[in-house]
Amino acid sequence: MRAVITGGAGFIGSHLAESLIENGYEVKVIDNLSTGSIKNIEKIKDKPKFEFIKGDIIDLPELNYIISHSDIVFHLAAAVGVELVVKDPAQTIITNVHGTERVLNAAKIKRTKVILTSTSEVYGKSEMNKFSEEDDLLIGPPKHSRWSYACSKLLDEFYCMAFAEEYGIPVTVVRLFNTVGPRQTGKYGMVVPRFVKNAIVNKPLQVYGTGEQSRCFCHVYDTVRALKILGQSDLKNDIFNIGNDYEISIKELALFIIRKLNSSSTIEKISYDEAYSPGFEDMKRRHPDIEKIRKAINWEPMLKLDDIINDVNQHIQETE
């Protein structure tokens, strides 16, 4: 199997690339290194079946050739992180929408299979207890730039379904719910590495808002396992949630990490206006319904929050 991973030098993409190489795939990674890093692919960069191509999918001249001569493309390249999205909403939309458009047009040439990584953000401000793939979506107003990411990824999903229907491209969309683990950086606002890094050195853990907002965290190894199974399956033209269904508030997460790492850190609450921008809106919950993917490919998360914190802590201790 010949696989292309856009954004493959990033956090999730690099783990996926390693796993595919281990399974005998030929892997080409395309990444402009805007948020990814060569360090992430250090273990595999010299492997005979691996090739790294530095470039942006928006203007990479050989993108059509690369994708049309592959069996599958895992499209992970995107603007990431709430802080980046709030600061640069225009580039977020361009990167996500135009990048996906280019990938799909390249896949159209020989009907190359596409796995698109979308996000739980597309569920917007819905008040559902659990988010399922058939739910209606409630996005905030365009004057709030934080919703530019959700809207751009939702348009990516519509693009995929339209290309599948019109051109016969086999497409699968996955909505990721807070994938975390080694190599994830807290630079763009990701909460787990940010908390762990501060707890290690006994600095305050900054909790945005009230801290009552809750999340479900999925280990990157579980996410990669789901991506691989979906890539190998005959499923197509469908949407799946990928996430862990254990829910915890951000305040409880901070306390858990402090206890886990035997830290003397305190908790410092910061308003959303101060952390991001005036009028910032957050989702109160992001709890995935994963029954659909359970039934489809017999997948469910195996690693717990305890495993996630252990692995993130170990990675930070070894690399920083």
Q: Which of 25, 149, 272, 276 is catalytic?
A: 149
Measured CA to CA, the distance from residue 260 to residue 190 in angstroms comes to 19
Let me know if 167 is a catalytic residue.
no
State pLDDT tens for residues 68-118: 999 999 999 998 766 677 777 888 899 999 999 999 999 999 999 999 999
142 has a pLDDT exceeding 90? no
State pLDDT tens for residues 171-220: 999 999 999 999 998 776 689 999 999 999 999 999 999 999 999 999 99
Per-residue pLDDT at 63: 98
Architecture of domain 2-180+218-245+286-302 in this structure: 3-Layer(aba) Sandwich (3.40)
Q: How long a stretch of residues is the chain?
A: 320
Structure tokens at 230: 């979906």
Measured CA to CA, the distance from residue 166 to residue 184 in angstroms comes to 37
Place of tokens 């991506």: 227
Q: How confident is the model at residue 256 (pLDDT cuts 50, 70, 90)?
A: very high
Structure tokens at 293: 């993917």
Which tops the pLDDT comparison, 128 or 54? 54
Q: Mean pLDDT, to the nearest integer, of 15-20?
A: 98
Report how far Cα 63 is from the mean position of its chain's Cα atoms.
22
Q: In percent, how much of the chain has pLDDT > 70?
A: 98
State pLDDT tens for residues 20-41: 999 999 999 999 998 899 999 9
Per-residue pLDDT at 188: 64
Q: Any residues with CB less than 8 A from the CB of 117 and at least 6 apart, and which?
A: 12, 74, 75, 76, 78, 174, 176, 227
Q: What stretches of the chain show up as alpha helix (H) in DSSP?
A: 11-22, 63-68, 82-87, 89-93, 99-108, 147-167, 191-200, 220-232, 250-260, 272-275, 291-297, 305-319
Kind and range of the H or E run holding 115: strand 113-119
State pTM to two decimals: 0.95
Mean pLDDT, the chain, whole residue set = 94
